[in-house]
Chains A and B, each alone.
Chain A
Amino acid sequence: MEEYSITFGTYFWLFVPMLLVVVLSGISWVKERDKS
């Protein structure tokens, strides 16, 4: 069987935007919690 792989570009566009929004919403949740 031939070897195939997934490109960096695919992994990047698939994971980075998605994980970014989780991190950003996590940060603002922690900030709000500390404020109150």
Chain B
Amino acid sequence: MDTATIITFFIYILGMLVLGIIGYRMTHNLSDYFLGGRKLGPGVAALSAGASDMSSWLILGLPGAIYLAGFGEAWIAVGLTLGAYLNWQFVAKRLRVYTEVSNNAITLPDFLENRFRDNSRLLRSASAAVILIFFTVYVASGLVGGAVLFSSTFGYDYMVALLIGGAVIIVYTFLGGFIAVSWTDFIQGTLMFLALIVLPIVTITELGGWNETVNIIGDLTGGDHLHMVQGVGMLAIISSLAWGLGYFGQPHILARFMAIRSHKDVPTARFIGMTWMVFSILGAIFVGIAGLAYIATDAVQSELAERGMETVEENGLLMLANEEAVFIAMTQLLTHPVVAGILLAAILAAIMSTVDSQLLVSSSAVAEDFYKGFFRKQASNKELIWVARISVVVIALIALVIASDDTSRVLDLVANAWAGFGASFGPIILLSLFWKRLSRNGALAGIIVGAVTVLTWEYIDPFGGLYEMVPGFLLSTIVAIVVSLVGSGPKQEVQDEFDKAREIANT
């Protein structure tokens, strides 16, 4: 690894830590810590929603999947883009307004409890438990991403890489909280965008243009990797598109909607957010496809060996041992050492942005929902911030244990956590915002059925490979509606509040 790359890389990380410390000094209360006091402008809200959402999946997972199997994997990207758009279009504004009207709720469990006037704490506990389970898996995926980065860049052993990456992320989240996180997410979002646009262009130019790149891939794979429709099964397409359903229930993304300055900023944020996402995703797809052609060339293979990157032979084709390192490998092979340092920092930045926001939402579940809810009803704000910070460390340690298996892949871990949230919260958030008749019991049943379906689907799947999101989302929706219709309707004050939120959101 070049010295210039290392210096650039570490300057970047140091900068992020400084921002974390500034964030720490600006944190006065819990709402500041979690939502930045609902003061985010549209640009920051959009890019931080994007960066906290995508990250290691976008830079490692998606290019890795395309590198391994070709354009057929791009259906996930299509499903996600459509889902993100619908989420911005229908959920963002209404949720921003409703959470404020509903006794200024600052977390998802808070909102559900206030929305249904639930005094039993059942709804709060169920949703906080879902948050804890699936975010721990999610955080593990980010830590795997960090480990892939440190091991392929610096040649560290997987476990050493995992511990270094984990330590950097935890220290940063521990200090900062949401103000630092949203601002640094904005920086990461910009860097990721630039990296994903520049790298495939450089690679395709290096290979002699787009037609030449296509011919090389065709020769290497017999043309299989070039098709998105032909040879791709319907079940695979449905499963991939179903990723889009997940958006409606991701607490870390919904938290960005809740933190936006005004609901009137949503259209601007949506436009910025969708433009960022579409170009980044297309960039990631082309990183994977161009990487396949580039890495298979003989000259590159020997350079990879010199840099100590592991390769394997699959069907007569030499490929990276860990397909998810394709972006990292190309960054080092193709760019100036200083640029490589910045781009590699962008990857770590992306991973940090997701893991820290997920750690924050999980820690808020522990502090607000379990600690304050059950043990210390009179806990002060200062005490809660400290409980949240300690929870960050504990959750991260559990995630480290999950990530310590070096055959883990970012994509697999993300798929499970994404489905968990999408199926348990997605239908309930949509129904809460748009269906007045939804009852507390309906919401509770929907959350539990969604989570249980995702956790057990792997063992009962009669279709052999249908993504757990599909049955989870459907069953949760059906159960929530049926249970609500069977019981008595919501109280008048709940209905009045629903109408008030709808009225404000429509102005």
Instruction: Report A's interface with B, CB cutoff 8 A.
Output: 1-7, 9-10, 13-15, 17-19, 21-22, 24-26, 28-29, 31-33, 36
A14 pairs with B215, CB closer than 8 A: no
Contacts of B74 in A (CB 8 A): 13-14
CB contact between B214 and one of A4, A19, A21, A28 (< 8 Å): that residue: A4
Q: How far is the CB of A30 from chain B (nearest CB, A)?
A: 9
Q: How far is the CB of A1 from chain B (nearest CB, A)?
A: 5
Which residue in chain A gives the minimum CB-CB distance to B84? Answer: A21
Contacts of A22 in B (CB 8 A): 271, 274-275, 278
Contacts of A18 in B (CB 8 A): 77-78, 81, 278, 281-282
Contacts of A2 in B (CB 8 A): 215, 218-219
A32 pairs with B267, CB closer than 8 A: yes
B274 pairs with A21, CB closer than 8 A: yes
B228 pairs with A4, CB closer than 8 A: no
CB contact between B85 and one of A5, A14, A25, A29 (< 8 Å): that residue: A25
B71 pairs with A25, CB closer than 8 A: no
Known A-B contacts A14-B78, A14-B285, A18-B81; the reply to A9 vs B278 at CB < 8 A is: no
Q: Which of B367-385 touch A at CB < 8 Å?
A: none
Contacts of B285 in A (CB 8 A): 14
Cα(A24)–Cα(B274), bound, Å: 10
Cα(A13)–Cα(B349), bound, Å: 31
Most buried by A among B218, B264, B267: B267
Cα(A15)–Cα(B230), bound, Å: 17
Contacts of B500 in A (CB 8 A): none
Q: How extensive is the interface on chain B, given as a class?
A: 35 or more
CB contact between A6 and one of B226, B264, B275 (< 8 Å): that residue: B226
Cα(A14)–Cα(B215), bound, Å: 19
Contacts of B243 in A (CB 8 A): none
Assuming A3-B215, A14-B71, A14-B285, what are 6 further A-B pairs, CB within 8 angstroms? A10-B227, A14-B74, A21-B274, A21-B278, A22-B274, A36-B264
Cα(A3)–Cα(B271), bound, Å: 39
Contacts of A19 in B (CB 8 A): 278
Cα(A8)–Cα(B331), bound, Å: 30
**Chain B 198-224, CB within 8 Å of chain A: the 1/0 string?**
000000000000000011111100010
Known A-B contacts A14-B74, A22-B274; the reply to A28 vs B267 at CB < 8 A is: yes
Closest 4 pairs between A and B when the two form their complex, measured CB to CB: A4-B218, A29-B271, A10-B228, A32-B267
A10 pairs with B226, CB closer than 8 A: yes
Decide yes or no whether B38 CB sits under 8 A from chain A.
no
Which residue in chain A gives the minimum CB-CB distance to B217? Answer: A4
Which residue in chain A gives the minimum CB-CB distance to B241? Answer: A17
Cα(A15)–Cα(B74), bound, Å: 11
Q: How far is the CB of A8 from chain B (nearest CB, A)?
A: 10
A21 pairs with B82, CB closer than 8 A: yes
Q: How far is the CB of B42 from chain A (nearest CB, A)?
A: 9
Contacts of B278 in A (CB 8 A): 18-19, 21-22
Known A-B contacts A2-B215, A21-B278, A25-B270; the reply to A7 vs B81 at CB < 8 A is: no
Decide yes or no whether B456 CB sits under 8 A from chain A.
no
Cα(A14)–Cα(B285), bound, Å: 10
Which residue in chain B gives the minimum CB-CB distance to A8? Answer: B229
Q: How far is the CB of A25 from chain B (nearest CB, A)?
A: 5
Decide yes or no whether B172 CB sits under 8 A from chain A.
no
